[in-house]
Structure 1
Amino acid sequence: MTTPRRSARRATVHDVAAAAGVSRGTVSRVINGGYVSPQARSAIEAAIKRVGYVPNTAARNLVMQRSQAVGFIVLEPHMLFLEDPNIGGLMLGANRTLSAADYQMVNLVVDSDRDTARITRYLSSGFVDGAIIVSARAHDPIIKVIADVALPAVFIGHPSDLYAQIPFVGIDNVASSRAITERLMATGRRRIGMIAAAVDRDSGADRLTGFREALGSRFDPGLVAEVPLYDFSHGAEGMNRLLERTPELDGVFAASDAVAAGAIEALRSAGRTVPGDVGVVGFDDSSWATRTRPHLSTVHQPAADIGARSADMVMRQIRGEEVERGGVMLPTPIVWRASA
Structure 2
Amino acid sequence: MSATEQPNKPGKRATVHDIAAAAGVSRGTVSRVLNGGYVSVTARTAIERAIREVGYVPNTAARNLVMQRSQAVGFIVLEPHTLFLEDPNIGGILLGANTTLSDADYQMVNLVVDSERDTARITRYLSGGFVDGAIIVSARSHDPIIQVVGSLALPSAFVGHPRDLRPEIPYVGIDNMTSTEEITRRLLATGRRRVGMIAAAVDRDSGADRLAGFRRALGPLFDESLVAEVPLYDFACGAKGMRTLLEREPRIDGVFAASDAVAAGAVEALREAGRTVPGDVGVVGFDDSSWATRTRPHLSTVHQPAADIGAHAADMVLRQLRGEEIPQGGLLLPSPVVWRDSA
Corresponding residue for residue 108 of structure 1: 111
Residue-by-residue CA offset, 1:85-122 (whole Å, 9 max, x unaligned): 01111111111111111111000001111111111100
The reply on whether 1:177 has 2:148 as its aligned counterpart is no
Corresponding residue for residue 70 of structure 1: 73
Of the candidates 208, 211, 223, which is equivalent to residue 211 of structure 2?
208
**1:51 Cα offset (Å):** 1.0
**1:36 Cα offset (Å):** 5.0
Q: Is the 8 A contact 2:242 2:269 kept in 1?
A: yes
The reply on whether 1:87 has 2:121 as its aligned counterpart is no
TM-score by length of 1: 0.95
**1:25 Cα offset (Å):** 3.4
Corresponding residue for residue 138 of structure 1: 141
Q: CA RMSD in A?
A: 1.6
Corresponding residue for residue 249 of structure 1: 252
Aligned equivalents of 1:227 and 1:53: distance in 2? 56
Structure 2: 5+ residue stretches without partners: 1-8
Structure 2: which amino acid aligns with 1:14? Answer: H
Of the candidates 92, 95, 98, which is equivalent to residue 101 of structure 2?
98
Corresponding residue for residue 301 of structure 2: 298
Aligned equivalents of 2:121 and 2:268: distance in 1? 39
SS in 1 for 2:324: coil
Structure 2: which amino acid aligns with 1:160? Answer: R
Aligned equivalents of 1:47 and 1:26: distance in 2? 13
Q: Is the 8 A contact 2:292 2:299 kept in 1?
A: yes
* 1:45–1:113 Cα change, 3 Å: same
* 1:43–1:328 Cα change, 3 Å: farther
SS in 1 for 2:331: strand
Structure 2: which amino acid aligns with 1:211? Answer: F
Structure 2: which amino acid aligns with 1:84? Answer: D
**1:42 Cα offset (Å):** 4.2
Q: How many residues align?
A: 335
**1:311 Cα offset (Å):** 0.7
Q: Is the 8 A contact 2:141 2:162 kept in 1?
A: yes
Aligned equivalents of 1:295 and 1:191: distance in 2? 22
* 1:26–1:101 Cα change, 3 Å: farther
The reply on whether 1:325 has 2:328 as its aligned counterpart is yes
Of the candidates 20, 26, 46, which is equivalent to residue 17 of structure 1?
20
Corresponding residue for residue 61 of structure 1: 64
**1:21 Cα offset (Å):** 4.2
Aligned equivalents of 1:37 and 1:327: distance in 2? 48
SS in 2 for 1:187: coil
Structure 2: which amino acid aligns with 1:311? Answer: A
**1:142 Cα offset (Å):** 2.0
The reply on whether 1:316 has 2:319 as its aligned counterpart is yes
* 1:77–1:17 Cα change, 3 Å: same
Structure 2: which amino acid aligns with 1:339? Answer: S
TM-score by length of 2: 0.94
**1:327 Cα offset (Å):** 1.4
Corresponding residue for residue 284 of structure 1: 287
Aligned equivalents of 2:42 and 2:216: distance in 1? 67
SS in 1 for 2:276: coil
**Percentage identity across paired residues of the two chains:** 79
* 1:262–1:38 Cα change, 3 Å: farther
Corresponding residue for residue 5 of structure 2: none
Corresponding residue for residue 339 of structure 1: 342
SS in 2 for 1:108: strand
Corresponding residue for residue 3 of structure 2: none
SS in 2 for 1:62: helix
Structure 1: 5+ residue stretches without partners: 1-5
Residue-by-residue CA offset, 1:3-26 (whole Å, 9 max, x unaligned): xxx974321112223333444334
Corresponding residue for residue 50 of structure 1: 53
* 1:251–1:55 Cα change, 3 Å: same
The reply on whether 1:124 has 2:127 as its aligned counterpart is yes
SS in 2 for 1:119: helix
Corresponding residue for residue 3 of structure 1: none
Structure 2: which amino acid aligns with 1:56? Answer: N
Q: Is the 8 A contact 2:167 2:328 kept in 1?
A: no
